[in-house]
A and B are shown apart, each in its own frame.
Chain A
Amino acid sequence: MDANEYDNEAEIHLLAGPYALDALDDIERARFDRHLATCEPCQNETYELLATVARLGEADAEAAPPAMRDAVLAQIAQTPQVVPRSQAATSSDQRASKGRRATRWLGAAAAVLAIGAIGAGIFGVQERQSADVLTAQSQQVADLVASPDTIVRQMPMGDASSAVVMSPSKGQAMMIAQGVPALPADQTYELWTLTADGQARPAGTWVPGPNGTATVALEGDLAGTAAVAVTVEPAGGSSTPSGAPIAQVVMA
């Protein structure tokens, strides 16, 4: 078995165990996600092992603190849900097409994670939840990345991590962020695209999700974008930046 340790093809199937136990680092996880997308035996094994791990977890069930129920229900009342990929019912006659969709989804997630690797770890090796966070817009990001002229730039934002992915030919860009602090209700984050002569064009307001993450498509005309910046603005956003950027990155 150990003879295969450096034999990637033989070894990758072994990762189903560590994968199900969350015992992989980001890069290996991305590698295994890519492998899963095309390896049906590994998919089946992985789903079974994930179910096994869930059984281990279930054995530890104990009564949750009573106050948690109210807290969660209050929070979900004001938490928007991600848009369903499909409103289609889940009857068994649609299993085949759903299976293909799942495969594409895995591919997309892998592509997104690959960006992390390209960008020298957009979120750092520890930040494994980026995989979950990014899957909402993963197809969109993956499409963007598939464009040959795509630029990926890390954008330091205080203690938060963020990156901008831009395809000039598609005229599309997205910002992906993690660890972003929440703002008071009367403030919002706002994205800007900056032209080479320093003109700032509003590119949309956003607030991080409950876990401090955000995946935002930049709005407006991206032509001539030399840099992207983020400011804190009054709720509703501004048409010109009212303060110094908290983050910016050159996209040229």
Chain B
Amino acid sequence: MIPFESMSTSNKDPDEVTKLLLLTARGDEAAFRDLYDLMAGSVFGLVRRVLRDPSQSEEVAQEVLVEVWRLAARFDPDRGTGKTWILTMAHRRAIDRVRSAQSAANRDTAYGVASHEPDHDHVSADVEHEFEKRQVRNAMKQLTPIQRAAVELAFYKGYTHTEVATTLEIPLGTAKTRLRDGLIHLRDALGVT
């Protein structure tokens, strides 16, 4: 079992993941092992949040982590942290899987489904991780209902902005704008720089 304290590193040493990723890019397998231990929980959790199904999530998370090894040389620290690079890849793969597995019609079309709180069946004992979760939840609550709905449909459901617009019955331009200003609010609320 991987301890939770190793997963939520955003408030600790933000450079550790980046450093390990740069070492991984040079073929350092030991560095990759450490990187795995820091990031596997976040990758798996994110993929599972999107895909729900545990075995599919494990498959995709595994693919992502192998891709992290394979493509590590592609990481450019000037464009963001190692953590962002890895989780961006994880999110994209999860969304790709959702989109190829289901047509939009098969997805939950009612917005209500997406607005539920995360239904994790595990109990995290780690205080810091709980803190991080609460921060995100609180930041989400500060959004307007439309902003929040748009961000949640895109992030957790893999909706394109066109689908977001259709589902929320708002013009496409508004959907784009809400996705952007929603994220900007979250960025400021979470203190992302």
Contacts and interface: CB of A to CB of B under 8 A. Distances in A.
Interface of A: 1-2, 4-5, 11, 14-18, 20-25, 43, 45, 47-66, 68-69, 71-73, 75-77, 79-85, 87, 90, 95, 98-99, 101-102, 105, 126-129, 132, 135-136, 209-211
Contacts of B2: 63-64
B187 A23 contact: no
B77 A61 contact: no
A135 B76 CA distance: 13
A210 B154 contact: no
Interface in B60-117: 61-63, 65-67, 69-74, 76-81, 83-84, 87-93, 95-96, 99-100
B26 A84 contact: yes
Interface string B8-22: 101000000000001
B40 A68 contact: yes
17 contacts: A2-B171, A15-B176, A18-B160, A21-B155, A48-B193, A51-B187, A52-B192, A59-B135, A63-B2, A64-B45, A64-B61, A68-B65, A69-B36, A76-B69, A99-B78, A101-B76, A128-B96
A16 B184 CA distance: 10
Contacts of A65: 44, 54, 58
B174 A48 contact: no
- 7 smallest CB-CB distances across A and B, nearest first, come from A17-B180, A5-B173, A84-B73, A17-B179, A57-B46, A64-B44, A59-B136
Contacts of A61: 4, 7-8, 41-42, 44-46, 129, 132
Contacts of B32: 73, 76
Interface of B: 1-2, 4, 7-8, 10, 22, 25-27, 29, 32-33, 36-37, 40-46, 48-49, 54, 58, 61-63, 65-67, 69-74, 76-81, 83-84, 87-93, 95-96, 99-100, 118, 120, 122, 124, 129, 132-133, 135-137, 151, 154-155, 158-162, 164, 171-184, 186-187, 190, 192-193
Contacts of A24: 160-161
Secondary structure of the A side of the interface? Answer: helix
A95 B176 contact: no
Contacts of A77: 29
B171 A60 contact: no
A50 B178 CA distance: 16
A90 B82 CA distance: 13
A90 B132 CA distance: 30
